[in-house]
């Protein structure tokens, strides 16, 4: 399993972990609330933090053992986690482009002129 995931998979990850941790209390915490609204709001509040499992694990480890966190509290825990690595970081590798023959010829002419 990779450390990175999309936000929906991240939501499923934290809710399954917290369901295992809090048991029935976790399920009761959401009684009477449309599950789609819960999902949308958690994804909206937690955003990019739901894409990196070590950040989510850190936040889960910070949770109060007696009651599940709100989306805002969970996000606060995530913001205190160690920095997330950038997925889009690109290693710079310069591409060497051969010098066109015309440019080489012009440089040679200039060198000849300056040696006069």
* DSSP codes joined into one string, 13-72: HHHHHHHHHHTHHHHHHTTTS-HHHHHHHHHHHHGGGGGBHHHHHHHHHHS-TTSPPPHH
Rounded to two decimals, what is the model's pTM?
0.72
Distance CA 40, CA 70 (A): 13
Strand partners, 52: 4
pLDDT at 91: 59
Percent of the chain predicted with pLDDT > 70 = 91
pLDDT at 6: 94
Domain boundaries, the chain: 7-79
Convert the pLDDT of each residue in 18-42 to its tens digit.
999 999 989 888 899 999 999 999 9
pLDDT at 94: 67
Q: Is the pLDDT of residue 103 over 90?
A: no
Query: 10 Å Cβ neighbour count for 109?
Result: 10
Convert the pLDDT of each residue in 79-96 to its tens digit.
999 998 876 655 556 677
């Amino acid at each position: 399993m990779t450390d990175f995931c999309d936000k929906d998979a991240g939501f499923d990850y934290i809710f399954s972990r917290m369901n295992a941790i809090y048991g029935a209390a976790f399920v009761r915490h959401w009684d009477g609330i449309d599950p789609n609204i819960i999902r949308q709001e958690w994804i909206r509040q937690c955003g990019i933090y739901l894409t990196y499992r070590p950040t989510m694990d850190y936040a889960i480890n910070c949770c109060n053992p007696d009651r599940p966190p709100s989306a805002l509290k969970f996000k606060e825990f995530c913001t205190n986690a160690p920095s997330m690595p950038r997925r889009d970081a690109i290693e710079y590798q310069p591409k060497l482009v051969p010098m066109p023959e015309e440019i080489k010829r012009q440089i040679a002419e200039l060198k000849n002129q300056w040696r006069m």
